[in-house]
Amino acid sequence: MVAGARGLNADGAAPVLAVGGTGDPVTPYPGARHTARPLGDGLGVLLTAQEEGHGTYPRNRCVAEKVDHCLRTGRTPAPGTVCRGSMS
């Protein structure tokens, strides 16, 4: 089912982590918000990277740490988590 579609239901699903960079020209930040929001609280979690450029993972240290932790443990960062720019 497409994110944002009516009747979206993810009962029993594992949390979904969406990563969005505020200055990403390839995959604009509103798309990440649009992906996480319809999944609902506790299921769709948006990790915001205040960063210019595309590909914050793995180049932004904070983003890499949060994503790697999620992949290892299945636990997402707290809702509203923001990583500051650190890409070179």
- pLDDT tens sequence across 2-25: 444 455 566 777 888 999 999 999
In a domain, 2, yes or no: no
In a domain, 4, yes or no: no
In a domain, 78, yes or no: yes
Domain interval for residue 46? 16-84
In a domain, 11, yes or no: no
Q: How far apart are CA 3 and CA 27, in angstroms?
A: 16
In a domain, 73, yes or no: yes
pLDDT score of 1 more than 60: no
Query: Looking at residue 88, what is its pLDDT?
Result: 56
Please check whether residue 56 is in contact with residue 63, taking contact to mean a CB–CB distance below 8 angstroms.
Answer: yes
In a domain, 27, yes or no: yes
More confident residue, 43 or 66: 66
Residue with tokens 């932790």: 69
Q: How many domains does the chain have?
A: 1
In a domain, 72, yes or no: yes
- pLDDT tens sequence across 27-55: 999 999 998 888 877 788 999 999 999 99
Query: Looking at residue 5, what is its pLDDT?
Result: 47
In a domain, 71, yes or no: yes
| Burial of residue 39 (number of CB atoms within 10 Å: 0-12, 13-18, 19+) | buried
